[in-house]
């Protein structure tokens, strides 16, 4: 049994939040000098030592079965192994594996009951305290432990902590000696607190964030709290920070900074400048909390100032005496030194221009010596909800957002700063400028990166009781957990300018515990609005849950629902457009409504990337696992594979559409001969972008050049003339592309930022004789095709059609899309199409050796809402290159093709992009398509005759190949090329979690006609 706490079993008691844990604080580091603090490298601090690395480890089936000797004995026996910290033991081969559930708990309840088998891991290592640390306070930092942990030092119990996504710190000074000490951390996988950590993700276990030890002075600066604000934030009066050419040089910046400091010294109490050209004023309230056994001593001071990142001061120093008269009744409010600043002419922080400043605080001892130095980067900005809008610096902002989990395919929850930076840089490259930390405080370094790179963040508390959604929120046993988790997040992250909303958690009903946490947060940090989806879901969008949410933040609403919203709060979807497999249908339709409806400001796509875990799968091959592939039960299958990116950060095809709907500038036709250019940014112009045009007529470039663009202020629209004459020929389109003029932190110069295409002339039906080889003899077409040309009405179901791996969800629980169930019941997935629909196929041999194919198909009313109507055939082996005139360059579908421009594109045959095989590879609105053998140059060409355009795919798999495979590693590409030619194809929608396809993207019953010309040509 665990020493000291074994009989108490705190892990089974939801009311025990911590034992011996220090108060939460913003994670600053103590340095010896200002120069060290400016470098901001915690590893370089003489008072910090990382404990990351290989730890001795032993796993037990239950914490009750851990003998006291496991905390104190040596770790050389065969019973001990070594594991990585940070890391999840569930990924390190110790006999306990990951488990994925979405809503259901992984074990039976009710709360707070725990399972009979409750794995507990004992982590052991040596802790060496150097002589130079003698007399200082020794603090151990545990960055994250899933689910709860107990700390032992030299065999003595030193503390206990909960909340697997926030750090726990313990003063272990009384337990250690100079020299070698023994450290043991016991991590228990399941606890009473697991019921409020029931998020849609893998259940892991272990020490998954950094562990380190610090030597803090007997009197030290425990927390540096920086509350910032902004006055006179009139964007129209600010310079265009987006233009690299407009940035001041070093000499200009130094002169300006000196001028600011002089003005601040001359008039410390000056108010805001008056008049329309008043420059922004940053306000800053610094609270330096001093702690330690000698905190009450007289004479300690904190010296504070603000400077640029280059070290140029923009304020004078403020030296504040630390209060010490703690025996004075009623008036003493702690050992906190306070300083306030007004910084004239600051450059405000926003996601578009993430300007930061450094707050430096020196702790000065009674003799006048600097005991330690802390530095905190801040950004001056103001966030508020006013007049029905979420405002940053007085301006409404579009929330071009995505949800993100901490996840790595090999390390699970143990993500590195490089992993996080890669995520955020990829987001910015795809025009994503907001991230919701779903559904817990992410590693704190993520917010450092959001501050630096420029992303708005919704910081979310680690509170989700999904399996007991509406009960625990009113359960008094969990009230302290609610408060501790929300308060800990706020206390840790309040200095970050990127955090624009505090979220009280996710999918936990709405009750007294939420209102209690909301009340604390509003009092502790009134500078940010609150966000909580459950409040508006359970109490109503218009005026429900106002105590807990300042924004209406629904999940997966229909387009009609958000279009009808009229309420006093802004509507920002916390989750929408579920990116599971081949998905994100109607994303552009959502944004048509968002941008045209007052009160709507955007939302967060679910989600950033798949949570696949690289492992040896049950069939023996290496691959990325989803739920159930570790043999766990219960599980929720591939519902964990629902990202815009693969687990190893390869973009899925839908990213093209996301990047387009989130573009910062749009172009649309205005009348017959003009273009409207709209700047969707809130603070910067378009001078950092180069615009070019290309006139495409019938697939040929007729004109191109640079587009002359006038100055377009933030949030404004400019109208310009067409850059070329409107052509008389049909099928004419004007493409406008915007590229980055100079390199940014996330993309090189020339990076494509935005694009639009304006139709100038409609296409016309092709002539049966038109085509590349018209008038000259070609090769026999039949020799290139193997097998017949058959009708086809089935596609390998996308996840939104229904869960092929989890049929009980669709049939018994009626969760997700219902299309697959209908198709299965009608035999669409198993019977030949010509047994289900009428089909007439006529082939005319033409003089040049080509063939004209005409198909008439009739879908009976009983088969309304099919996957597709068209034909399929296979080309003989060797065809490996594709070229087409249609939408591209990537895969696109009828309700996800607005970001796919019409043009002539070329590519290799697509690889299957989804973890669970399903329909992929379609190109819509194709006028012609060529299939080429690159080895010989031989080409089969398909020219569309009627209607003007058809949808085409060419892959190495039949629909049945994809349908029968449960995992991407089960696919075996055919040598032949499988071609689908569709006159109609069902949209994708987002019904795996959200609305099904809109009516206009449904394939209806009735007659269909298509005609095309096939020809074959040598190189």
Give one DSSP letter per residue of 784-844, joined into a string: GEEEEEEEE---PPPGGG--TT-HHHHHTS--S--HHHHHHHHTTTTS-GGGTSEEEEEEE
pLDDT tens digits for 633-642?
999 999 999 9
Cα separation, 200 vs 177, in Å, equals 43
Could you give the count of Cα atoms lying within 13 Å of 316 in the half-sphere of its Cβ?
11
Cα separation, 144 vs 204, in Å, equals 12
Cα separation, 196 vs 455, in Å, equals 28
Tokens of 78: 């065969």
- Does residue 264 have a pLDDT over 60? no
Beta carbons within 8 Å of 915's beta carbon, 6+ residues apart: 581, 610, 612, 624, 626, 638, 641, 646, 967, 968
Beta carbons within 8 Å of 125's beta carbon, 6+ residues apart: 51, 53, 55, 56, 183
| pLDDT at residue 814, rounded to an integer | 79
Beta carbons within 8 Å of 197's beta carbon, 6+ residues apart: 146, 147, 164, 440, 462, 464
Going by pLDDT thresholds of 50, 70 and 90, the confidence category of residue 116 is: very high
Beta carbons within 8 Å of 245's beta carbon, 6+ residues apart: 687
Query: What is the percent of the chain with per-residue pLDDT over 70, rounded to a whole number?
Result: 95
| pLDDT at residue 768, rounded to an integer | 57
Cα separation, 786 vs 480, in Å, equals 69
| pLDDT at residue 247, rounded to an integer | 32
Across residues 597-622, what is the average pLDDT? 96
- Does residue 710 have a pLDDT over 70? yes
- Does residue 296 have a pLDDT over 70? yes
- Does residue 63 have a pLDDT over 80? yes
Coil, strand or helix at 959? helix
Going by pLDDT thresholds of 50, 70 and 90, the confidence category of residue 277 is: low
Tokens 């580091």 identify what position? 29
Tokens 């640079």 identify what position? 706
CB 175 within 8 A of CB 153: yes
Across residues 729-734, what is the average pLDDT? 96
| pLDDT at residue 244, rounded to an integer | 27
Query: Alpha carbon of 1015 to those of 730, 885, 929: distances in Å?
Result: 24, 16, 11
Cα separation, 302 vs 293, in Å, equals 17
Tokens 């070019």 identify what position? 692
Cα separation, 116 vs 786, in Å, equals 60
pLDDT tens digits for 324-374?
888 788 888 889 999 999 999 999 999 999 999 999 999 999 999 999 999
Cα separation, 483 vs 513, in Å, equals 8
Tokens of 503: 């979220």
| pLDDT at residue 137, rounded to an integer | 97
| pLDDT at residue 727, rounded to an integer | 94
- Does residue 275 have a pLDDT over 60? no
Tokens of 834: 């010509």
| pLDDT at residue 242, rounded to an integer | 31
Across residues 968-981, what is the average pLDDT? 98
End-to-end CA gap in the chain: 79
Here the contacts of 547-556 (C-beta below 8 Å, separation 24 or greater) are 547/515, 547/518, 547/519, 548/504, 548/510, 548/514, 548/515, 548/517, 548/518, 549/504, 550/385, 550/501, 551/385, 551/390, 551/501, 556/990, 556/993, 556/994, 556/995
- Does residue 260 have a pLDDT over 50? no
Beta carbons within 8 Å of 707's beta carbon, 6+ residues apart: 691, 692, 693, 720, 723, 736
pTM: 0.94
Going by pLDDT thresholds of 50, 70 and 90, the confidence category of residue 690 is: very high
CB 575 within 8 A of CB 606: yes
pLDDT tens digits for 228-258?
999 987 644 333 333 322 333 333 333 334 3
pLDDT tens digits for 182-208?
999 999 999 999 999 999 999 999 999
| pLDDT at residue 333, rounded to an integer | 84
- Does residue 911 have a pLDDT over 70? yes
- Does residue 295 have a pLDDT over 80? no
Across residues 593-606, what is the average pLDDT? 98
Element (H, E) at 122: strand 120-129
CB 153 within 8 A of CB 98: no
- Does residue 265 have a pLDDT over 80? no
Here the contacts of 903-908 (C-beta below 8 Å, separation 24 or greater) are 903/696, 903/699, 903/735, 904/699, 904/700, 906/881, 906/882, 907/881, 907/882, 908/880, 908/881, 908/882
Q: For every residue of 745-756, which 3-state class applies, written as one string?
A: CCCCCCCEEEEE
- Does residue 68 have a pLDDT over 50? yes
Cα separation, 313 vs 315, in Å, equals 6
| pLDDT at residue 679, rounded to an integer | 98
- Does residue 13 have a pLDDT over 70? yes
Please choose, from the candidates 606, 556, 676, the residue with its C-alpha nearest in 3D space to the C-alpha of residue 432: 606
Cα separation, 986 vs 1009, in Å, equals 17
pLDDT tens digits for 528-585?
999 999 999 999 999 999 999 999 999 999 999 999 999 999 999 999 999 999 999 9
Tokens of 311: 């070290």
Across residues 154-177, what is the average pLDDT? 98
| pLDDT at residue 332, rounded to an integer | 84
Please choose, from the candidates 664, 655, 574, the residue with its C-alpha nearest in 3D space to the C-alpha of residue 609: 655
Cα separation, 1004 vs 901, in Å, equals 26
- Mean pLDDT score across all residues of the chain: 93
Tokens of 586: 């109607």
Query: Alpha carbon of 808 to those of 107, 626, 802, 803, 827: distances in Å?
Result: 20, 18, 10, 9, 18
- Lowest mean pLDDT segment, chosen from 11-15, 254-258, 373-377, 1008-1012: 254-258
Going by pLDDT thresholds of 50, 70 and 90, the confidence category of residue 811 is: confident
- Does residue 773 have a pLDDT over 90? no
Across residues 972-1001, what is the average pLDDT? 98
| pLDDT at residue 770, rounded to an integer | 53
CB 634 within 8 A of CB 101: yes
| pLDDT at residue 278, rounded to an integer | 72
Across residues 491-519, what is the average pLDDT? 98
Cα separation, 889 vs 923, in Å, equals 8
User: For 428-537, where are the E strands, in sequence order?
Assistant: 434-437, 456-460, 499-503, 530-531
Across residues 501-507, what is the average pLDDT? 98
């Amino acid at each position: 049994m665990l020493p000291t706490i074994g009989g108490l079993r705190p892990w089974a008691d939801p009311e025990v939040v911590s034992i011996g844990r220090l108060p939460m604080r913003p994670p600053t580091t103590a340095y010896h000098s200002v120069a060290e603090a400016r470098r901001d490298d915690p590893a370089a601090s003489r008072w910090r030592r990382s404990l990351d690395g290989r730890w001795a480890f032993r796993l037990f089936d239950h914490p009750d079965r851990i003998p006291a000797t496991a905390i104190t004995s040596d770790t050389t026996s065969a019973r001990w192994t070594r594991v990585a910290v940070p890391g999840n033991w569930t990924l390190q081969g110790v006999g306990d594996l990951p488990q994925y559930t979405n809503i259901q708990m992984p074990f039976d309840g009710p709360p707070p009951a725990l399972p009979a088998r409750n794995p507990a891991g004992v982590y052991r290592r040596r802790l060496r305290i150097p002589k130079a640390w003698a007399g200082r306070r020794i603090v151990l930092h545990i960055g994250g432990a899933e689910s709860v942990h107990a700390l032992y030092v030299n065999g003595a119990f030193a503390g206990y902590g909960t909340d697997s996504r926030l750090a726990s710190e313990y003063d272990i000074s009384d337990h250690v000696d100079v020299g070698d000490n023994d450290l043991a951390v016991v991590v228990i996988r399941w606890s009473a607190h697991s019921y409020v950590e029931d998020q849609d993700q893998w259940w892991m276990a272990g020490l998954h964030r950094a562990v380190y030890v610090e030597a803090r002075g007997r009197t030290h600066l425990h927390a540096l709290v920086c509350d910032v604000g902004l006055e006179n934030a009139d964007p129209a009066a600010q310079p265009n920070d987006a233009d690299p050419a407009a940035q001041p040089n070093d000499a200009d910046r130094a002169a300006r900074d000196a001028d600011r400091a002089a003005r601040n010294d001359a008039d410390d109490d000056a108010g805001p400048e008056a008049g329309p050209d008043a420059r922004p004023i940053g306000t800053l309230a610094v609270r330096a909390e001093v702690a330690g056994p000698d905190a009450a001593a007289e004479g300690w001071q904190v010296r504070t100032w603000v400077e640029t990142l280059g070290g140029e001061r923009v304020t004078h120093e403020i030296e504040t005496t630390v209060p010490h008269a703690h025996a004075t009744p009623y008036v003493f409010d702690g050992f906190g030194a306070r300083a306030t600043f007004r910084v004239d002419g600051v450059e405000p922080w926003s996601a578009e221009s993430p300007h930061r400043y450094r707050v430096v605080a020196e702790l000065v001892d009674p003799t006048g010596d600097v005991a330690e130095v802390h530095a905190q980067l801040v950004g001056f900005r103001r966030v508020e909800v006013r007049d029905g809008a979420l405002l940053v610096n007085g301006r409404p902002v579009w929330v071009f957002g995505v949800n993100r989990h901490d996840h790595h395919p090999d390390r699970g929850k143990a993500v590195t700063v490089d992993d996080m930076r890669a995520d955020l840089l990829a987001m910015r490259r795809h025009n994503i400028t907001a991230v919701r930390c779903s559904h817990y405080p992410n590693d704190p370094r993520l917010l450092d990166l959001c501050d630096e790179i420029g992303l708005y963040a919704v910081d979310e508390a680690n509170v989700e009781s999904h399996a007991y959604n509406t009960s625990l929120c009113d359960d008094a046993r969990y009230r302290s957990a609610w408060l501790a988790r929300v308060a800990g997040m706020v206390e840790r992250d309040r200095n970050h300018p990127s955090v624009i909303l505090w979220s009280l958690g996710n999918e936990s009903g709405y009750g007294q515990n939420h209102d209690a946490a909301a009340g604390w947060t509003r009092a502790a940090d009134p500078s940010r609005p609150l966000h909580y989806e459950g409040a508006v879901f359970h109490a109503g969008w218009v005026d429900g849950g106002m105590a807990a949410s300042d924004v209406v933040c629904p999940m997966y609403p229909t387009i009609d629902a958000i279009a009808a919203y009229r309420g006093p709060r802004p509507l920002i979807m916390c989750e929408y457009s579920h990116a599971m497999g081949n998905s994100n249908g109607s994303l552009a339709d959502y944004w048509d409504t968002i941008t045209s409806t007052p009160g709507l400001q955007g939302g967060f796509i679910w989600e950033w990337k798949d949570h696949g875990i690289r492992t040896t799968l049950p069939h023996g091959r290496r691959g990325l696992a989803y739920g159930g592939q570790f043999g766990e039960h219960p599980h929720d299958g591939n519902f964990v594979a629902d990202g815009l990116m693969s687990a190893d950060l390869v973009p899925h095809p839908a990213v093209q559409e996301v990047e387009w709907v989130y573009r910062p500038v749009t172009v649309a036709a205005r009348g017959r001969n003009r273009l409207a250019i709209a700047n969707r940014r809130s603070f910067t112009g378009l001078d950092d972008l180069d615009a070019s045009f290309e006139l495409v007529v019938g697939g040929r470039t007729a004109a191109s050049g640079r587009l002359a663009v006038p100055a377009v202020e933030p949030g404004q629209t400019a109208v310009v003339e067409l850059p070329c004459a409107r052509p008389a020929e049909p099928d004419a389109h004007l493409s406008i592309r915007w590229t980055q003029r100079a390199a940014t932190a996330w993309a090189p110069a020339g990076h494509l930022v935005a694009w639009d295409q304006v139709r100038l002339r409609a296409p016309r039906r092709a002539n049966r004789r038109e085509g590349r080889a018209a008038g000259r003899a070609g090769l026999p077409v039949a020799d290139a095709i193997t097998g017949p040309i058959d009708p086809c009405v089935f596609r390998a179901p996308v996840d939104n059609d229904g869960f092929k791996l989890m049929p009980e969800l669709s049939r018994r629980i009626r969760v997700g899309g219902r299309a697959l169930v209908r198709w299965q019941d009608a035999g669409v997935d198993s019977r030949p199409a010509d047994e289900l629909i009428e089909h007439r196929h006529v082939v005319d041999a033409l003089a040049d050796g080509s063939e004209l194919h005409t198909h008439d198909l009739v879908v009976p009313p009983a088969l309304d809402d099919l996957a597709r109507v068209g034909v399929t055939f296979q080309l003989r082996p060797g065809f490996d290159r594709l070229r087409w005139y249609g939408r591209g360059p990537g895969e696109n579908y009828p309700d996800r093709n607005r970001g796919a421009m019409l043009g002539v594109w070329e590519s290799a045959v697509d690889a299957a992009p989804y973890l669970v095989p399903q329909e992929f590879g379609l190109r819509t609105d194709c006028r012609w398509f060529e299939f080429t053998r690159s080895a010989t140059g031989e080409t089969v060409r398909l020219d569309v005759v009627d209607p003007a355009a058809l949808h085409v795919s060419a892959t190495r798999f039949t629909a049945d190949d994809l349908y029968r495979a449960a995992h991407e590693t089960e696919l075996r590409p055919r040598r032949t090329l499988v071609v689908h030619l569709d006159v109609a194809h069902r949209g994708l929608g987002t019904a795996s979690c959200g609305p099904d396809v809109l009516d206009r993207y449904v394939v209806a019953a009735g007659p269909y006609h298509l005609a095309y010309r096939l020809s074959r040509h040598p190189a």
